[in-house]
A and B are shown apart, each in its own frame.
Chain A
Amino acid sequence: SQKIEQNSEALNIQEGKTATLTCNYTNYSPAYLQWYRQDPGRGPVFLLLIRENEKEKRKERLKVTFDTTLKQSLFHITASQPADSATYLCALKYSGAGSYQLTFGKGTKLSVIP
């Protein structure tokens, strides 16, 4: 069956360091992958999208990589700040399925410690 996994349920990191979150998938032929941020009591907010033919995307302190050979995406937050503390979700749009469906990982809760 198709599966998407975020390796860590929780990640603690010191302020100023780079946080790296991992998203792995199996049995997919991906079209693109998205990362979202979710704060407690709120809905997910879109951060970045990376397509299958792209290796890397950047937005300010955020960077996403996509390795279709390893079936893995890495999400980096450089110079992390306490305000970056949130749950981060990856979501995969796979080709061959219902056209507009995303499959979400369970999320990684990031805590940035001052």
Chain B
Amino acid sequence: DAGITQSPRHKVTETGTPVTLRCHQTENHRYMYWYRQDPGHGLRLIHYSYGVKDTDKGEVSDGYSVSRSKTEDFLLTLESATSSQTSVYFCASSRPNQPQHFGDGTRLSIL
């Protein structure tokens, strides 16, 4: 495995609070991704990164921001959480045009 860890694994918070999810990989992969997975929608890309400080938006980026200050770390921030952002969040990493390696997810509940 690519050695991807996500933290926290579970979080419950209130509407309007800021939330940061962390992803750490030990394989020196250049590319990293944040997805959300919801029933009936499958995995949807939020943001991705193609290098340190290089990020771009995915399909469902509204309400989310990301930062990547080191190769191994990719942070996802919900500036002001809403109930529609309740989901399971997955981080992944990969080399160019190679399969993605996923973490085990963060289950986020926003009340």
Give residues in A with beta carbon < 8 Å to B: 31-32, 34, 41-46, 49, 89, 91, 93, 98-102, 104-107
A98 touches B56 (CB 8 A): yes
Distance, CA A25 to CA B35, complexed state (A): 20
| A34 surroundings in chain B (CB, below 8 A) | 99
8 A Cβ contacts from B1-50 to A: 4, 31, 33, 35, 40-45, 48, 50
- B102 at the A/B interface (Cβ < 8 Å)? yes
| B50 surroundings in chain A (CB, below 8 A) | 99-100
B48 touches A100 (CB 8 A): yes
- B104 at the A/B interface (Cβ < 8 Å)? yes
| A93 surroundings in chain B (CB, below 8 A) | 97
| B105 surroundings in chain A (CB, below 8 A) | 41-43
| A49 surroundings in chain B (CB, below 8 A) | 99
Partner of A104, one of B42, B94, B97: B42
- Some 19 contacts from A to B, beta carbons below 8 A apart, are A32-B97, A42-B104, A43-B102, A44-B43, A44-B90, A44-B102, A46-B101, A89-B42, A89-B43, A93-B97, A100-B31, A100-B50, A100-B97, A101-B45, A101-B48, A102-B100, A104-B35, A106-B41, A106-B42
Nearest 10 pairs between A and B by C-beta? A43-B102, A46-B99, A106-B42, A104-B43, A104-B42, A43-B104, A44-B102, A100-B31, A42-B104, A43-B103
| B99 surroundings in chain A (CB, below 8 A) | 34, 46, 49
Question: Which of B4, B43, B103, B105 is the most central at the interface, judged by chain A CB atoms within 10 Å of its CB?
Answer: B43
